[in-house]
Structure 1
Amino acid sequence: MSQYQRLLLIINPALRHSQAINHAAALAKASGASLHIAAWIPSLKMLSLLEQGEREKARERYLQDHRDWLNAQTTNLRGRGLDVTAEVDWADDLRQDILDHVLEMQPDLLIKEVQHESALKRAFFTPLDWHLLRHCPVPVYLVSGSGFVLPRKIVAAVEVSDTEGPDNELNERIIQQATALAMQCNAELHLLYACDISAAFLADMGGLTLADLTKALRRDLEKSFLKLAGRYGVASDHRHFILGNPVTALSEFAHDHQVDVIVMGKVQSHGVDKLLGSTTEHILYQVPCSVLAV
């Protein structure tokens, strides 16, 4: 049986050239899952300038236009053999409306197109995508507008610096989710660990030099990574132990190897009390591929 039985796609109906519907439909077709498309529209402030009667008519015309468009999309998808439902409505609080819908529907996966925000805006407001990464109770699949609708190369990004703690359980979920997606899409599965050895890890111990400690730590981390890869049967040429900052290393790897999806943890410790959640959030604006956050 497929891991995905029910998919929920969130779209902005004003972005009619978005590839999100095609990505979600392709995954639903490959997995045999049902697909529900929810299109929510933030209230239009400019309508407040109209008289009450005209305002309501304008709101209804605007809403109906988007409903007609989405109905045409779903009719086309049903013609391709997909089990698709859809809704269009106003959003009073988009963030909460999405989370409430997830709790009510209990989908296996929440799908949404990545919404790029400027660094200045991110400094003052939490982007919607970041909010979903932090608070959504199900895996979040944030698709990019480029690439193939079905992924051909999937990378599971893991953390092996603490194999006895919560990281180990999250690694399992990351690999299981990546494996399931790869099986559904007949894609390559790769395992990657971005090893960031900084001075924060190191101390003067027993007369060892900083270089000695760095080599010893790298050797231990690589051994843990290979052990994890072996446990899940990842082919030797699909194992990638990379030195460097996680965001930079993952971004460069995704560009150089034409990765379609990176599967990561929403919140995962990295080194000493660091969060991979922040890495996942920032990765959204650095990589040319989709991100599946577990």
Structure 2
Amino acid sequence: MIKYQHILVVMDPAADTHPALHRAVSVAALQEQAAITLFMPIYDFSYEMTSMLSSTERDEMRAGVLQGREEWLKEILLPYQNSSINFTIKVVWHSRPFEAIILQVQEGQHDLVIKSSHKHNVIQTFIFTPTDWHLLRKCPCPVLLVKERDWPMGGNVLAAVNCAADDHDQVALNNKVIAESKEVARLLTAELHLINAYPITPVNMALELPDFDPNAYNAAVKRHHEKAMLVYAERFNLDHSVLHLEEGLAEEVIPHCATLIDASLVILGTVGRTGLSAALLGNTAEQVIDKLSCDILVLRPDA
């Protein structure tokens, strides 16, 4: 049974609404003895560059800014003052928000980070911030990126897996995603659906191999993925009616399926690529998030 009992909520000082906090309260209400930490990393470069002030005066100015933000967060918590949830406030001075968040996760032993996913004001679509990208790649605990849609009791939860992969790490990640998704669905009295994308037939194979039959190849690939998916369904006691096998790229298939079943939450795993491979390939989670209108919970491998 999963436990999200030490929740870290990343607060945005520029936001008028705080869906991440509301979602954290909803998650905490499903747990026992849950604690929520409101966390805000802030930094103003102008305080560091002011030559007219001594180092002591700059320290005092920073302390004043931190205290002001702490008071602001206390006001935000006023509606929850009668809640049984244990709230903590922490504001830190740090120039790299994602590093501050990860340090807090490690120091506070948090088991879930909740952060709002920003909405673009011009074209009204959701966008990644650099902090989001770094968190998905490097945060040691699950990350829940929140939009402004509610989680209805009795709704649908969609878990995305790569069923045909047979390497140990991917199988372990698939098992983790399905197991945690099933528990989340149980807590929400929601129905769990499983989505798996299988690749389209490579065009170059049909061009380079005269005897190549793309229809037969496509059917064989589909059967392979279908067989693997049924193994997971049997392992986790999932009905065949909640299995979705679609041809195409995962970043296209997952949002399409989420819309089709009106999912309130999508859960998937990420390998957390870094360096050149991340720049060239990206991660499915990073490519999916902007195309979803619902929340997304991203899990990392246990290792």
Same fold per superposition (TM over 0.5): yes
- Measured against aligned partners, the alpha-carbon deviations of 1:19-45 in whole angstroms (never above 9, x if no partner) come to 110001110111122111111213253
Unaligned 5+ segments in structure 1 are: 119-124
Aligned to 1:8: 8
Of 243, 249, 257, which residue of structure 2 is paired with 1:245? 249
Instruction: Give, in angstroms, the shift of residue 93 of structure 1.
Output: 2.2
Task: Give the whole-Å Cα distance in 2 for the aligned partners of 1:255 and 1:99.
Answer: 32
- Measured against aligned partners, the alpha-carbon deviations of 1:162-211 in whole angstroms (never above 9, x if no partner) come to 23432111100111121122222222211111222231896889955222
Task: Give the whole-Å Cα distance in 2 for the aligned partners of 1:16 and 1:146.
Answer: 16
Aligned to 1:233: 237
The residue type paired with residue 14 of structure 2 is A
Task: Give the whole-Å Cα distance in 1 for the aligned partners of 2:154 and 2:92.
Answer: 31
Q: 1:178, 1:263 within 8 Å by CA — same for their partners in 2?
A: yes
Q: 1:114, 1:144 within 8 Å by CA — same for their partners in 2?
A: yes
Task: Give the whole-Å Cα distance in 2 for the aligned partners of 1:251 and 1:225.
Answer: 19
Q: 2:195, 2:257 within 8 Å by CA — same for their partners in 1?
A: no
Aligned to 1:286: 291
Aligned to 1:104: 107
Aligned to 1:91: 94
Instruction: Give, in angstroms, the shift of residue 136 of structure 1.
Output: 1.0
Within-5 A mapping of 1:157-176: 157-176=160-179
The residue type paired with residue 118 of structure 2 is Q
1:210 corresponds to 2:211: no
- From the superposition, tell whether residues 278 and 81 of structure 1 become closer, same or farther in structure 2 (CA, over 3 Å): same
Task: Give the whole-Å Cα distance in 1 for the aligned partners of 2:205 and 2:226.
Answer: 17
Task: Give the whole-Å Cα distance in 1 for the aligned partners of 2:91 and 2:149.
Answer: 25
Task: Give the whole-Å Cα distance in 2 for the aligned partners of 1:162 and 1:206.
Answer: 29
- Measured against aligned partners, the alpha-carbon deviations of 1:195-228 in whole angstroms (never above 9, x if no partner) come to 2223189688995522211111111111111221
Task: Give the whole-Å Cα distance in 2 for the aligned partners of 1:293 and 1:201.
Answer: 34
Instruction: Give, in angstroms, the shift of residue 156 of structure 1.
Output: 0.6
Task: Give the whole-Å Cα distance in 1 for the aligned partners of 2:87 and 2:262.
Answer: 31
The residue type paired with residue 157 of structure 1 is A
Task: Give the whole-Å Cα distance in 2 for the aligned partners of 1:37 and 1:235.
Answer: 39
Task: Give the whole-Å Cα distance in 1 for the aligned partners of 2:155 and 2:94.
Answer: 35
Q: Normalized against structure 1, the TM-score is what?
A: 0.84
Task: Give the whole-Å Cα distance in 2 for the aligned partners of 1:79 and 1:201.
Answer: 64
- From the superposition, tell whether residues 150 and 71 of structure 1 become closer, same or farther in structure 2 (CA, over 3 Å): farther
Aligned to 1:122: none
Of 58, 69, 77, which residue of structure 2 is paired with 1:66? 69
Aligned to 2:262: 258
The residue type paired with residue 162 of structure 1 is A
Q: Quick check: 142-151 or 77-86, which moved more?
A: 142-151
- From the superposition, tell whether residues 282 and 104 of structure 1 become closer, same or farther in structure 2 (CA, over 3 Å): same
Within-5 A mapping of 1:92-241: 92-115=95-118, 127-148=130-151, 152-199=155-202, 209-241=213-245
The residue type paired with residue 263 of structure 2 is V
Aligned to 1:121: none
Instruction: Give, in angstroms, the shift of residue 77 of structure 1.
Output: 2.3
Q: 2:201, 2:217 within 8 Å by CA — same for their partners in 1?
A: no
The residue type paired with residue 240 of structure 2 is S
- Measured against aligned partners, the alpha-carbon deviations of 1:254-284 in whole angstroms (never above 9, x if no partner) come to 2232211111111289xxx999961110111
- The DSSP-based 3-state class of the residue aligned with 2:3 is coil
- The DSSP-based 3-state class of the residue aligned with 2:90 is strand
